Amino acid sequence: MGGFPIISAVVFLPLIGALIIMGVRSATAGSFSSEEAGKDSRAALLAGLIISSATFVASVAAFLTFDSNAAGYQLVEQYAWYGEITYKVGVDGLSMPLILLTTFLTPICLLASWNSIHTRVTEYVVAFLVLETFMLGVFAALDIVLFYIFFEAGLIPMFLIIGIWGGKEKIYAAFKFFLYTLLGSLLMLVAVVYMFQAAGSSDIEVLEKFAFPPHVQTWLWLAFAASFAVKLPMWPVHTWLPDAHVQAPTAGSVILAGVLLKMGGYGFLRFSLPMFPDASHLFQPAMFALAVIAIVYTSLVAWRQTDMKKLIAYSSVAHMGFVTLGIFSFNEVGVQGAIFQMLSHGLI
């Protein structure tokens, strides 16, 4: 792109749009009648739709620049941030499709909210755009600290989307979603700090080449798995998903199943397998067993559901079980199948 920071533009365009919408809202607060306020809410949705669509166009531009035949990270941007921690983003054949999936689904979600969201519409649009930035940041980050910040920050707008615009049991579902995912990620934070101290860098490319001792790999793998297994979600830590999925507004359910669940699979592929290969082989039988249980058990549970959202939630756990099997097959066909399944499930 001639040096243009296209990945940063894709990641932060929704956030910039959200700030503009908030600024306009603050400048015009209190100056509307109820009828004009309703029109203002529609304008906020329209603005969100335009901004998210522009983000999709920017991601397509990045994809057209991306060389699918080349290995390694591309469109890399790196800037000094804090000591050895850098702001570093880029894409490869794993993250580029997931970025496209995220930017494709977000405008569809806002369009689907046109006639279903009637309260605090401006805040709803802002929450969605901020969430989009955090989701894109997860897939684009090439610094493990930056990845963790984006990974955890995404909890906040999703918590608000469920807790404010959800169904009857929205508060319970929102807190269950938040606590499950946060507790798992706290262990990952400890592992991130250790890895930074051991390798002297938070750069993902450096960490991929750093040889952690086998006994250390085991503990680091477990710490990362505690977060990614909940996010995926794997059996038996899947119970937050049916509650969150059912109580979330429809657009929230789409993002929850379509993108947020993919972060778990992405994390296993980006961190667990390349950085902790010995531990990944050690835990392969256990992952196979948990994946098969998830596929069989949650498929049977889904079979008996009469609520469409619960049906989708339980079947999503089963589908992610197939993703887990593909990831831990440790062969090219299995990994490609896992990525294909993540993308197809997101679209479905």
Residue 76 in this model has a pLDDT that exceeds 70? yes
Whether pLDDT at 346 is above 80: yes
Contact yes or no for 232/264 (Cβ under 8 A): yes
Average pLDDT value over all residues in the chain: 88
Share of the chain above pLDDT 90, in %: 53
In this predicted model, what pLDDT tens digit does every residue of 108-121 receive, in sequence order?
999 988 888 778 88
172 vs 33: which has the higher pLDDT: 172
> Average pLDDT of 2-27?
86
C-alpha 27/C-alpha 151 separation (Å) is: 32
The pLDDT assigned to 29 comes to 61
Q: CB–CB of 37/141 below 8 Å?
A: no
pLDDT at 80: 85
Distance CA 133, CA 147 (A): 12
| Neighbouring-strand partners of residue 85 | 82
Residues 337, 10, 112: CA angle, nearest 5 degrees: 75
- Domain residue ranges in the chain: 1-142, 170-348
- Say whether pLDDT at 38 is over 60: no
Burial class (CB in 10 A: 0-12, 13-18, 19+), 144: buried
Alpha carbon of 299 to those of 261, 287, 302, 305, 321: distances in Å?
17, 18, 5, 10, 10
SS (H, E, C) 285-340: HHHHHHHHHHHHHHHHHHHCCCCHHHHHHHHHHHHHHHHHHHHCCCCHHHHHHHHH
Average pLDDT over residues 184-212: 89
Residue-level pLDDT at 40: 59
- pTM recorded for the entire structure: 0.91
- Cis peptide preceding 249, ω within 30 of 0: no
pLDDT the model gives residue 33: 45
What was the pLDDT predicted at 104?
Answer: 95
285-336: pLDDT as tens digits: 999 999 999 999 999 999 998 888 889 889 999 999 999 999 999 999 999 9
Residue 144: which residues within 8 A CB-CB, separation 6 or more?
192, 195, 196, 202, 203, 204, 207, 271
Answer whether 160's CB lies under 8 Å from 127's CB. yes
SS (H, E, C) 19-79: HHHHHHHHHHCCCCCHHHHHHHHHHHHHHHHHHHHHHHHHHHHHHHHCCCCCCCCEEEEEE
- DSSP bridge pairs for 79: 87
Backbone CA torsion sign across 263, 265, 267, 270: negative
